[in-house]
């Protein structure tokens, strides 16, 4: 299992911002360094993943696997397709991850009695223990990243993020699951 992704952090910090014409750059789409909202969202996501991976490395859990454990801890037993949607991963991509988590004794898959092609996935006791043990530290890491941001600014941030999500979901008009 790879250790924390310091290369991703370096690449994020060192990424060259493309030159944007001044006329376009002054719009609301770009910040003062020419970065767009998706660019910043990706940068912040990579930095969070790198910090989270440092915590998860103690239990030899890849960040990609953490998302499955976290969703199952929050939602309880789900069918494999629903779990994949909530994690935001194609169901075919989920199979090797769930195989690994099952081999480690963290999750359990059981056949759907009404449709033998489908499986339900649930956390086992060891998976629950890991979530219960790691979630407070991961939450603290996220909280520390918000130092210096006022509660009012956070309310505005959430309002803006939810509106962006709503706008994009409306445009996509797909069957993705919002969590």
- Over the chain (179 residues), what is each successive 10-residue block's mean pLDDT? 53 54 65 91 96 96 95 95 92 91 96 87 97 97 97 97 93 67
Residues 124 and 98 in one domain: yes
In the three-class reduction of DSSP (H, G, I as helix; E, B as strand; rest coil), residue 41 is classed as helix
In a domain, 38, yes or no: yes
Beta-carbon contacts of residue 24 (< 8 Å; ≥ 6 apart) = 30
Query: Residue 66 has what pLDDT?
Result: 96
Handedness of CA 145, 61, 70, 162 (dihedral sign): positive
Claim to verify: residue 82 and residue 125 sit in the same structural domain: yes
Residue 170 lies in a domain: no
CB atoms within 10 A of CB 39: 16
Q: Which CATH number fits the domain that encloses residue 101?
A: 1.10.10.10
Q: Is residue 120 part of a domain?
A: yes
* Total tally of structural domains belonging to the chain: 2
Angle at 148 between CA 143 and CA 152, to 5 degrees: 85
Q: Which two tokens stand for residue 178?
A: 């919002």
Q: Give the structural domain span for 48.
A: 1-60
Examine the domain organization and report whether 133 and 81 are in the same domain: yes
Q: Residue 175: its pLDDT value, please? A: 52
User: In which element (H, E) is residue 142 found?
Assistant: helix 125-145
Report yes or no on 146 lying in a domain: yes
pLDDT for residue 2: 47
């Amino acid at each position: 299992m790879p250790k924390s992704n310091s290369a991703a952090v370096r690449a994020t910090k060192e990424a060259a911002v493309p030159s944007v014409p001044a006329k376009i750059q002054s719009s609301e789409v770009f910040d003062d360094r020419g970065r767009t909202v998706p660019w910043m969202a990706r940068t912040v996501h990579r930095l969070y993943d790198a910090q989270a991976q440092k915590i998860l490395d103690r239990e030899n859990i890849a960040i990609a696997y953490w998302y499955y454990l976290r969703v199952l801890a929050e939602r309880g037993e789900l069918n494999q397709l629903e779990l994949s949607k909530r994690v935001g991963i194609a169901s075919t991509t989920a199979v090797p991850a769930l195989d690994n988590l099952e081999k480690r004794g963290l999750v359990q898959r059981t056949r759907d009695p009404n449709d033998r092609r489908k499986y339900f996935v649930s956390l086992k006791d060891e998976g629950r223990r890991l979530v219960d043990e790691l979630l407070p530290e991961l939450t603290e890491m996220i909280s520390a990243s918000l130092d210096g941001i006022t509660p009012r600014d956070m309310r505005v941030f959430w309002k803006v993020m939810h509106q962006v999500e709503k706008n994009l979901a409306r445009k996509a008009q797909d069957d993705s699951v919002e969590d």
